[in-house]
A and B are shown apart, each in its own frame.
Chain A
Amino acid sequence: MDKSELRTALVEALLPRASRLGMERSELTDDLDLLRSGLLDSLGFVDLVVELEKRSGREVDLMSAMERPGGSTVGGLIELFTRIA
């Protein structure tokens, strides 16, 4: 999966929850922090990562990803899945 495919998959996965909270697709920008915004709780975040792992066929190191600044933003997640291992 390339960046734009990942972004699409991520947005599709987030949209149901986002729309129930009254957020629009256009608000799901790269700098949106999924945890701080209240869009996801910790368990929801992990479930999202697992879902993306299934779709992309890649396993990521979530622990070290969380250590990086911006690790829980939309952009941070895309970066996590697309950077060269």
Chain B
Amino acid sequence: MNVLHPSTDPIAVFDRAVAVWPSRPALDIDGAVLSYGQLSAAADQYASACDATLPPGARVALVGQRHADTYAALLGILRSGRSYVPLHTDHPPERWQQVMQRAQVAALFDARNSTAFRTVDIADPAHAVGEAYVMFTSGSTGGPKGVPVLRRHVAAYLAHALGHFGITERDRCTQLFSLAFDLSVHDLFVTWGSGACLCVSAEATGLRTAAHVQRAGITTWFSVPSLIDLLARMRALPPGGLPHLERSFFCGEALRWDQVQRWSQAAINSSITNLYGPTEATIAVFEQVVEPPYPASGTVPIGRPFAGSTAKVNGGGTEGELILGGPQVTEGYLGDPAARTNFMRGSNGDTMWYATGDRVRCDPSGIYHFLGRMDDQVKVQGHRVEPSEVDHVLHPLLQGCTSVTVAVDRSGAMRLVTFIDGPADAVALLHALRERLPSYMMPEAIRVLERFPLNPNGKVDKRALKELAHNG
């Protein structure tokens, strides 16, 4: 077996914890606990199964079921030198197929059906040595877009997180993110790299989170900010109601000051850190720890880049598109050279740069503030959504008509509305979309217009469509 160094591989971070804390709890799923030693032994079995049945460097699709076998298989895949491609449990089968084909996976693991790797019949399986995982996000050119992330990218993130976030082997950490969301990689490897316990609830949908956190004795929280709104609306954030939390991290969408206020009144003993980063730059690359007194409105700055990462504003001013560089920036999208235009290799040949499409302002003290997107991309409960992906999926179903999907803000929650410029059976189309899109990408309505409103340049006036969507 290769000797791995924690600075180059996340699995080495886990292995180090196994060596130091073999009998401490590593994984607690609704009260069923596995120690580091037990989880490592289970992972070994999966690593051996990979070696026995799959080519070296293969990618394995992993259904993100919150089950002990899923976590052990994920570790086994990585330990065997292979890469995992998570599939969201709520996504329709057609999307799974797309993801598996694009990633050229050699096998599928689904803890719901079997504890074996089921080989996939594929002509040309990927050979992805050095890769940790491929995450798929919404793509504006139609279909999900894969971001291959190498082990060294994850190790660079972990080097910062384990050095700065202050989590210890006494901590109990949340695992609220879907495994198909790269923030789950923080959940797993920051927890295990610290010797702490990863606390999972098999049914931890947003609504069941509050009870789980109380029951599991959570000390370290990580979620999207919109979960604060959800818990508040559920009346699950009474003042002082989360006294055991010692630190809270938020990432995935803009964190508002009113959310910070709410959270700090419930989690009275917790620090609050806002993290920022796109999947293309591995989990997160900016952090801002917030301190009271908190402003009443507006959003929390995204702060400063981690040591070792570099940020600049495109064009060199103080406001514009954020460009990221450094050891966490990945190399481009999967099998889609045309979409690599926002990745650049630095003149020294080593540093990768990624143009995020996020509009920022850098203030005189060097703190960055998120202002919005350069394009139409929106966040729906933390998920990146390109509204035009809905139109690409609809296109083959429309006979001679065109669709334009816009996003509207409904009291703090983003929703999609699709307009069609001609006769169409909206109900049948919605049925068809449900078979092809994840639930968070489903339009809340399809509306038929005689023709689209146009702006003075003769293009579809999306602003007018947004107003139409907003008003009904």
Contact = CB atoms under 8 A, between A and B. Distances in A.
B22 to A, nearest CB: 33
A63 B235 CA distance: 9
A21 B430 contact: yes
B207 A35 contact: yes
A42 B442 contact: no
A15 B263 CA distance: 34
Contacts of A45: 207
B207 A20 contact: no
Nearest to B445: A20
Contact of A22 (B210, B234, B430, B444): B430
B229 interface: yes
B374 interface: no
Interface in A26-81: 35, 38, 41-43, 45-47, 50, 62-64, 66-67, 72
Contacts of B446: 20
Interface residues on A, range: 20 to 34
Interface string B435-461: 000011010111000000000000000
B431 A22 contact: yes
A63 B236 contact: yes
A62 B439 contact: no
A67 B211 contact: yes
A74 B442 CA distance: 21
B444 A42 contact: no
A17 interface: yes
Given A21-B434, A22-B427, A43-B413, A63 B234 contact: yes
Interface residues on B, range: 20 to 34
Given A38-B434, A38-B439, A47 B211 contact: no
B230 interface: yes
Residue from B205, B236, B434 with most neighbouring chain A CB atoms (10 Å) = B205
A62 B430 contact: no
A13 B72 CA distance: 43
Contacts of B442: 21, 38
B430 A50 contact: no
Contacts of B427: 19, 22
Contacts of A43: 226, 229-230, 233, 413
Nearest to A24: B427
Given A17-B444, A20-B444, A38-B439, A46 B208 contact: no
B338 interface: no
A47 B410 CA distance: 12
Residue from B207, B428, B434 with most neighbouring chain A CB atoms (10 Å) = B207
Contacts of A22: 426-428, 430-431
B8 interface: no
A50 B207 contact: no
Contacts of A20: 426, 430, 444-446
A44 to B, nearest CB: 8
A45 B446 CA distance: 21
Contacts of A66: 207-208, 211
B381 interface: yes
A53 to B, nearest CB: 10
A63 B210 contact: yes
Interface string B357-392: 000000000000000000000000100000000000
Nearest to A64: B211
Nearest to B236: A63
Given A22-B428, A46-B234, A63-B234, A41 B211 contact: no
Contacts of B208: 66-67
Contact of B235 (A35, A38, A62, A67): A62
Contacts of A42: 205-207, 230, 381
8 closest pairs, A vs B, by CB? A22-B427, A42-B206, A38-B439, A46-B233, A66-B207, A20-B445, A22-B430, A66-B208
Interface of B: 205-208, 210-211, 226, 229-230, 233-236, 381, 413, 426-428, 430-431, 434, 439-440, 442, 444-446
16 contacts: A21-B442, A22-B430, A38-B439, A38-B442, A41-B413, A42-B230, A43-B233, A45-B207, A46-B233, A62-B234, A63-B210, A63-B211, A64-B211, A66-B207, A66-B211, A72-B207
Interface of A: 17, 19-22, 35, 38, 41-43, 45-47, 50, 62-64, 66-67, 72
